[in-house]
């Protein structure tokens, strides 16, 4: 498939998948038109880059497999973050770097945190090849965030979690927003947490079924 073909598919993705779920922010729409999603998909799945589904980028389909989030949900979540041109963003669970590339078109800079070395290497290579030089890929446990570059204006979680840990919330600036999906499958709920004067309040945004991020599993308490 040629670059022109992929470009046409991007337009169809934005018009047919993203605009139809009430994504109206012009910056977000333009970012999805600009970033070549196919560059962040494994070669064997590149023909699927623009279909309306999650695309596996690592693993064998088991619990710890990793996915590129379906475009419509990714766009809705990013719109909820209300990213400004001067914002510093932490992208938790960057995977192959696609969401980081989108975020880089909206923000001043992006820290792309990934725990899987192979994915981090692929993200670094793809982002460098495409010239997204305001993204830095770092490695570490996802639930710990990346405190050395904190505080952040926006923290974005690229998958669902049982619960947003305090370690991440504590890395928000005053006025900062954290966007995450809590709960799994059809029980998932997109939430926006805002820090204001040392207090963090969360609000429900919409229902969202997205693939889980590893390392955020709720620890079951032993009951007598």
The CATH number that applies at residue 92 is: 3.40.50.150
* pLDDT for res 224: 47
Report the domain count for the chain. Answer: 1
Helices 26-34, 3-13: crossing angle, 10 deg rounding: 150
Say if 135 falls within a structural domain. Answer: yes
What gap in Å lies between CA 197 and CA 138, rounded to an integer? 29
Q: Can you give the pLDDT at residue 132? A: 97
Residue 214 lies in a domain: no
How far is it between the farthest Cα atoms of the chain? 63
Domain extent for 78 = 3-207
**Closest among 156, 169, 68 to 106, alpha carbons compared:** 156
In a domain, 217, yes or no: no
pLDDT score for 185 = 87
pTM here is: 0.95
pLDDT category of residue 221 using cuts at 50, 70 and 90? very low
| Contact by Cβ (8 Å): 39, 131 | no
């Amino acid at each position: 498939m040629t670059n022109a073909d992929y470009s046409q598919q991007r337009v169809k993705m934005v018009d047919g998948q993203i605009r139809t779920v009430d994504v109206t922010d012009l910056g977000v729409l333009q970012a999805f038109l600009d970033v070549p999603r196919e560059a962040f998909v494994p070669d064997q799945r590149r023909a699927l880059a623009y279909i309306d589904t999650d695309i596996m980028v690592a693993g064998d389909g088991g619990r710890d497999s990793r996915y590129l989030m379906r475009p419509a949900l990714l766009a809705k979540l990013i719109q909820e973050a209300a990213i400004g041109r001067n914002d510093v963003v932490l992208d938790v669970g960057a995977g192959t770097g696609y969401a980081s590339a989108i975020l880089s078109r909206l923000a001043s800079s992006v820290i792309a945190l990934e725990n899987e070395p192979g994915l981090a290497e692929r993200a670094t290579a793809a982002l460098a090849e495409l010239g997204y030089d305001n993204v830095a890929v770092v490695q570490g446990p996802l639930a710990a965030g990346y405190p050395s570059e904190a505080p952040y204006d926006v923290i974005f979680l690229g998958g669902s979690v049982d619960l947003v840990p305090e370690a991440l919330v504590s890395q928000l600036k005053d006025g900062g927003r954290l966007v995450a999906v809590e709960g799994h499958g059809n029980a998932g709920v997109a939430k926006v947490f805002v820090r204001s004067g040392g207090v963090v309040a969360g609000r429900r945004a919409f229902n969202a079924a997205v693939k889980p991020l590893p390392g955020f599993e709720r620890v079951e308490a032993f009951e007598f």
